Amino acid sequence: MTQGNRAPFVVAHRGSSAARPEHTLAAYELALTEGADGVECDVRLTRDGHLVCVHDRTVDRTSDATGLVSELTLDELREMNFGTADAPSGVLALSDLIGLVLDWRSRPTKLFIETKHPVRYGALVENKVLAELQRFGIATPASADHSRAVVMSFAATAVWRIRRAAPLLPTVLLGESSRFLGGSAATTVGATAVGPSVKTLREHPELVDKAAAAGRATYCWTVDDPDDVKLCADLGVSWIATNHPARTKALLA
Ligand code: G3P
Ligand code: CA
C-alpha cells in the first residue's frame, strides 16, 4: 500500500452505497462496474457462526425485519430483504463477496474487510475472516499474493491478532483520535496503514506524513465531499473510502 505521487485508490464504502442499498450484491456489482479499486464491507457473526456483511448490531435499519445479527441464523438472514421492494436482496455472506471480488476478471480489486466484533467473541471473528480468505487461497502461508484483501478494525487487539496469524496480510488500524492514530498503537500492533475519518484528517493533515515516515499508508473514510477528495489527493492519502465511487473516480481522473 505505498503511494508515491499517484492519485488515491478509490474504495466503495459498503459497495456503491449512495446508489444501491448498502452491503448488497447490487451495491458491490455496481461499484465494480464503476471502476472502484477496492470495496469495503463490515462483517458480523451470525448465531450459527457465519460471517455476514452487515454494519449495525441489528438488521433493523437495513432490512425489512428486526433483530440482532448475533441471534439470527444465516438461513433466517437470507429470508430477509436487505434490498428494495423492487429489487429484493438477501443478506450477503462474506464468502459471497470474496467470490464476487475474485471472479471480477476485468481488474484486480481489493477487498477491505472491517471486523465488527463484540468483546465476547474474542479472536473468533478474526480467525473466521482468515479462514474464509484462506479457503479462497488468500493469506495462506504459501500464497504468493496477499494483496487482494485488507483487514481493518477500530480495535487494536483485532489488528494485532491478524498480524500475528497472517503477517503478510495488509491491515488498517481505524480511529477517530489523532493521538491514537499518531501515537504508538499502530507500531505496537504492526498495522500497515492507519485509517482516520475524514473529519480527523481535516483537523490533523499531518497524520499522513507521520504515517508515511513510519512506512505506513493512510486510508481515509468516508470521503464524499469533492473538497475532501481533493484534500486527500493533495495530502497523498493512499486509499479513500466513499459512498460515491463513480463520481470520486471521475474527480481524480
Ligand atoms: O471504512 C471504515 C469505515 O467504514 C468505518 O466506519 O461506521 O462506516 O464502519 P463505519
Ligand atoms: Ca465499515
pLDDT in tens, the chain (253 residues): 445 568 999 999 999 999 999 999 999 999 999 999 999 999 999 999 999 999 999 999 999 999 999 999 999 999 999 999 999 999 999 999 999 999 987 788 999 999 997 667 788 999 999 999 999 988 777 776 778 999 999 999 999 999 999 999 999 999 999 999 999 999 999 999 999 999 999 999 999 999 999 999 999 999 999 999 999 999 999 999 999 999 999 999 9
Task: Give all strands (DSSP E) within 46-186, no chain letters.
Answer: 51-53, 110-115, 149-153, 171-175
| pLDDT for the residue numbered 4 | 54
Which ligand is closest to the CA of 198, given by its number?
Answer: 1
Q: Which residue has the cell 496503514?
A: 193
Q: How many helices (H) and strands (E) does the chain have?
A: 11, 9
C-alpha cell at 192: 500497515
Residue 4 backbone class (left: φ over 0; alpha: ψ -120 to 50; beta: rest):
left
| pLDDT for the residue numbered 2 | 43
13, 23, 50, 244: which one is catalytic? 13
Cα-Cα-Cα-Cα dihedral of 107, 219, 252, 145, to 10°?
-20
Angstrom distance (rounded) from CA 70 to CA 63: 15
Residue 117 annotated in active site: no
Q: How many residues does the chain have?
A: 253
What does each C-alpha distance from 26 to 60, 86, 211, 214 come to in angstroms? 20, 12, 35, 38
Ligand 1 geometric centre to CA of 142 (Å): 31
- Ligand 1: does its nearest atom lie under 6 Å from the Cβ of 151? no
Angstrom distance (rounded) from CA 129 to CA 93: 11
Q: Where are the domains of the chain?
A: 9-43+94-252
Q: Fold for 9-43+94-252, please state it.
A: TIM Barrel (3.20.20)
- Cβ within 8 Å of residue 25, ≥6 positions away: 89, 92, 96, 100
Q: What is the ipTM of this complex?
A: 0.98
Ligand 1 geometric centre to CA of 221 (Å): 7
Q: Are 64 and 73 in contact (CB under 8 A)?
A: no
- Ligand 1: does its nearest atom lie under 6 Å from the Cβ of 132? no
